[in-house]
Amino acid sequence: MSRSKLGGDGHGGARSRSEGPDAALRELWAEAELKLDSSPNAQFVLPQYGGRSLPNLASSLAREGDLGRGRGSGRRLCEPLAPDLEPAQVGTGGGPVVLFVVDGLGWLSYRAALESERAVLPPAWATNARPLTSVFPSTTTSALTSLSTAVAPSRHGVLGHRQFLPAWGTVADLLHMAPIAVAQQDSLLPPALNPSGIRGVPTLFERGLRATVVTRHSFRGTGFTRLLYAGAELRGYLTASDLVHELGSLLGKRQPPKVLYVYWDELDTVLHRRGPNAYLVAVELARLRDLLVSVARQLSSQRRRATRLWITGDHGLVPVRPESTLRVEEAGPLLAALRLPPSGDRRAVYLSPRAGAPSRVLAELRRRLPHGTLYRTFDQAHRAGWFGPPPDHPELRERTGELIVVPPSPASVTYKAPSGPEPYRGMRGSHGGLERGELWVPLVAASLAELTETET
C-alpha cells in the first residue's frame, strides 16, 4: 500500500466515496492554498515557480525517468517540486509513472466537484490531491511546453496562444502553427522544419528521457505536437475506449515504458462553451475514473499497485461573457495606435504601441476595460516573475511586446485579423490570466490501484 498523502502526516482523509472531504482534509487544502497565495484577498495571484508549479512537476518527472538536471545540453531545468508535494513517494516504487494531463482541469473546480459530493470517487482522489500553479500565461501552449521541457515560459519562449515570432515577422497562432490571418494549419512549421526555432530549449525527451506520449490521433504530426514531444515515442488514440486499449497495452507489457505522458482534451472543450461548472467537472472525473478502472482490469494486481498516476491540468477556467469582450478590430483608435496586432490570450494580452503612443493605448484601454484590469509594462511583469526565473529566452521581450493587459473576469479581449478566422464569440469560460480559477491546478498522485479501488 502506498502512502495516502502527498507529504502529509496521515491525519486527513475522506469520510467515504460519497460524502466528500472531511474537515481535516479541507484544512490541509486550505494550508496548501496559502502556500500558493500570500495575499488571499487579492484578485490576482502569481505562478509559484519555486517548487509549486507545472515546470517543477515536470522536473520531478524527469528525475523519476533517471534524467539528471540539465543532462545532455548543459541547460538547467527548474527545480523539482517542494518536498511536501513530491509525488515520488506514492506507489510501491519501480513501476511506471503516468502523467495524465486533463486540459482545463483547475484546482478550484476540482475541489468544488469533490465538495459537491457529485463526483463519486475513491478516497485517494481527495486525500492525495493538492494544488499547484500553472504558468503565465495560464494557457495550453505555454503550460504543455513547460510540462515537456521542465522550464518556465521565460526560458522556453512559448508565451501564449498567439505570439509574435521575430524570425518569421508575424503574429502566429501556435496551436495551428500559422499566421493569425491564415487558416491553413502548419503553414509556419511544415514537416520538414524543426520546431526548435520556436521552442528555445530541448524537450525532456531530446535530453534523454525515455517516454511514450499518448494523445489524440488527430494531433499526431502537427507542428505543435512536434514542438511539444520531439524525441518521444508517440501513440495516438481515437476515442476513450481506444485510449483504454492503448494504456492497457502499454502498461501491460513485460517491460512497460518508465514514463507515459497522456493528454485528454474534452473537459476544456465543454468548459469553454458552458463556463466553469462543478457538475460538468464531476461528470468528467467520473468518466476518467471509469476509464482508469477499465485500464486497471487489464493488469495484474502487482502492476496496478506499482503504476503511479500523477493527474493534473494545464490550467483552469474562469467565467467570461460575450458582452464583456473587447473586440480590438472594432476599436479603431486603439488598433491604429498599435504597430503589431494584439497577441497573447483572451485574458492575457500583449500589445506593442507605436512610437509615442503608449499613453494613447492606455487611455483607449481604460475606456473599454473594467476597473481592476492589470496594466504592466514588460519590465514590470518580468521583474515580478510572471514568466519565470532566468535564464531568459533571447527573444522574450520581442515576443511579448511593451504592454501586458490582464482583465478581471468576466472580461476578455479578442482580435480578428483581416481575412483571418473568426474567434469563437460564444465562449463562456476562458483562461490565460492570473486569477485563481485559471492559474491553480490540481496534482493527484496515487497508485492506479488506489485511484480505481482495484487492489485485490
Q: Nearest-CA neighbor of 149 among 222, 54, 85?
A: 54
pLDDT digits (tens, 9 = 90+) for 263-293: 999 999 999 999 999 999 999 999 999 999 9
DSSP per residue, 262-286 = EEE-HHHHHHHHH-S-HHHHHHHHH
Task: Answer whether 138's CB lies under 8 Å from 434's CB.
Answer: yes
Instruction: Report yes or no on 11 lying in a domain.
Output: no
pLDDT digits (tens, 9 = 90+) for 52-64: 999 999 999 998 8
Reduced 3-state DSSP string for 100-139: EEECCCCHHHHHHHHHCCCCCCCCHHHHCEEEEECCCCEC
Q: Fill in the amino acid letter for 416.
A: K
307 & 207 share domain: yes
Q: Lowest mean pLDDT: which of 64-68, 149-153, 233-237, 306-310?
A: 64-68
Instruction: Report yes or no on 14 lying in a domain.
Output: no
Instruction: Report yes or no on 114 lying in a domain.
Output: yes
191 & 56 share domain: yes
Q: Lowest mean pLDDT: which of 139-153, 179-193, 240-254, 409-423?
A: 179-193
Asked if the model's pLDDT at residue 74 lies above 90, the reply is no
What is the per-residue pLDDT for 87? 80
Asked if the model's pLDDT at residue 75 lies above 70, the reply is no
pLDDT band at 72 (very low <50, low <70, confident <90, very high): very low
200 & 334 share domain: no
What is the per-residue pLDDT for 275? 96
376 & 261 share domain: no
Task: Identify the domain containing residue 409 by its residue range.
Answer: 322-428
Helix, strand and coil in the chain, % to nearest 5: 35, 20, 45
Q: Where are the alpha helices (DSSP H) in 320-424?
A: 332-336, 358-368, 378-383, 396-400
CATH number at residue 382: 3.30.1360.180
pLDDT digits (tens, 9 = 90+) for 9-52: 433 444 445 456 889 999 999 999 999 986 666 899 999 999 99
What is the per-residue pLDDT for 105? 98
What is the per-residue pLDDT for 130? 96
pLDDT digits (tens, 9 = 90+) for 221-248: 999 999 999 999 999 999 999 999 999 9
Burial group, residue 49, by CB count within 10 angstroms (0-12, 13-18, 19+): buried
What is the per-residue pLDDT for 40? 61
pLDDT digits (tens, 9 = 90+) for 364-411: 999 999 999 999 999 999 999 999 999 999 999 999 999 999 999 999
Alpha carbon separation from 49 to 124, 164, 177, 313, 395 (Å, rounded)? 26, 24, 27, 16, 20
What is the per-residue pLDDT for 119? 75
Q: Lowest mean pLDDT: which of 98-107, 180-189, 429-438?
A: 180-189
Q: Lowest mean pLDDT: which of 64-78, 257-271, 314-328, 425-439?
A: 64-78
Reduced 3-state DSSP string for 356-384: CCHHHHHHHHHHHCCCCCEEEEHHHHHHC
Asked if the model's pLDDT at residue 8 lies above 90, the reply is no
Domain count, the chain: 2
Task: Answer whether 201's CB lies under 8 Å from 155's CB.
Answer: yes
290 & 350 share domain: no
Alpha carbon separation from 277 to 228, 409, 423, 429 (Å, rounded)? 29, 15, 23, 9
311 & 388 share domain: no
149 & 38 share domain: yes
238 & 205 share domain: yes
Average pLDDT over residues 78-93: 78
Alpha carbon separation from 395 to 101, 131, 259, 417 (Å, rounded)? 28, 31, 32, 23
pLDDT digits (tens, 9 = 90+) for 185-218: 888 877 767 788 899 899 999 999 999 999 999 9
CATH number at residue 185: 3.40.720.10
What is the per-residue pLDDT for 73? 42
pLDDT band at 456 (very low <50, low <70, confident <90, very high): low
Asked if the model's pLDDT at residue 131 lies above 90, the reply is yes
Task: Answer whether 251's CB lies under 8 Å from 213's CB.
Answer: no
Per-residue DSSP letter, 260: E
189 & 334 share domain: no
Average pLDDT over residues 441-449: 96
**What grid cell was written down for 61?**
518527472
Instruction: Report yes or no on 4 lying in a domain.
Output: no
* Alpha carbons 127 and 419: distance in angstroms, whole number: 51
* Alpha carbons 196 and 149: distance in angstroms, whole number: 12
Average pLDDT of the residues of the chain: 91
Q: Nearest-CA neighbor of 125 among 147, 100, 144?
A: 100
